[in-house]
Structure 1
Amino acid sequence: MISAKQLKLTLVRSLNGRLKAHQQCARGLGIRKIHNPVTVIDTPENRGMINKISYMLKVEEA
């Protein structure tokens, strides 16, 4: 079985004062706190959310 590629996301800027859509993207990716890494599967849907809020994230391959 082939394992799916994973990405490690870390929020490096606050969600306060951001657009609601950007806050919802962070919530959809499972991000809750700043500097708390989250691992997600690399899918087109997740990539779209990551691209939308890329200015707030640090993205690494897991």
Structure 2
Amino acid sequence: MSEQTPARRHKPSAASAPKGPTLKVTLVRSVIGYNRKQGEIVKGLGLRKIGHTVEVLDHPAMRGMIQKVRHMVTVADA
């Protein structure tokens, strides 16, 4: 019988860190009760639960995502 190796987790490296100007986005309202698409946008931003903060690149695509869920998040310059 062959033994299976345990699953390896991906470790983020310094090379995968965002390059360029970034924004700090914090989820301040629950996605429950809102449109499903808005919940998917929040997930796409990398936010998981209320109070979670992530740094995202400051470019038009991310700005558009933030604009769609502006009632659920706060944004600050990083």
Superposition TM-score, scaled by structure 1 size: 0.91
The match for 2:39 is 23
Q: Deviations over 1:1-53 (max 9, x none)?
A: xx511000001110111101100110110011110111100111111000000
Gaps (5+ residues) in structure 1?
Answer: none
The match for 1:37 is 53
Gaps (5+ residues) in structure 2?
Answer: 1-18
Separation (CA, whole Å) in 1 of partners of 2:28 and 2:55: 15
Structure with greater proportional helix content:
1
Superposition TM-score, scaled by structure 2 size: 0.73
Q: Which runs of 4+ in 1 moved over 3 A?
A: none
The match for 1:48 is 64
Larger Rg: 2
Instruction: Give the structure, 1 or 2, with the largest relative contact order (CA under 8 Å, sep 6 or more).
Output: 1
SS of match in other structure, 1:38: strand
How many aligned residue pairs are there?
60
Counterpart residue type for residue 58 of structure 1: T
Separation (CA, whole Å) in 2 of partners of 1:36 and 1:28: 13
